[in-house]
Copies of this chain bind each other. A is one copy, B any other.
Amino acid sequence: MSASDLFLADCPARTTLALVGDTWSVVVIMALGEGPRRYGEVLERIGGISKKMLTQTLRRLERNGLVDRDGADYRLTALGSSLLDVVGALARWAEEHTDALVDAQAAA
Interface residues in chain A, defined as those with a beta carbon under 8 Å from any beta carbon in chain B:
2-4, 6-23, 26-27, 30-31, 45-48, 62-66, 79, 82-83, 86-87, 89-95, 97-98, 100-105, 107-108
Contact = CB atoms under 8 A, between A and B. Distances in A.
Contacts of A27: 6-7, 14, 17
A19 B98 CA distance: 11
Say how many copies of this protein the assembly contains. Answer: 2
Contacts of A66: 104
Contact of A79 (B11, B18, B26, B100): B100
A58 to B, nearest CB: 13
Contacts of A90: 17, 20, 86-87, 90
A17 B101 contact: no
Contacts of A47: 7-11
Contact of A95 (B6, B9, B48, B63): B6
A89 B84 CA distance: 12
B89 A86 contact: yes
A14 to B, nearest CB: 8
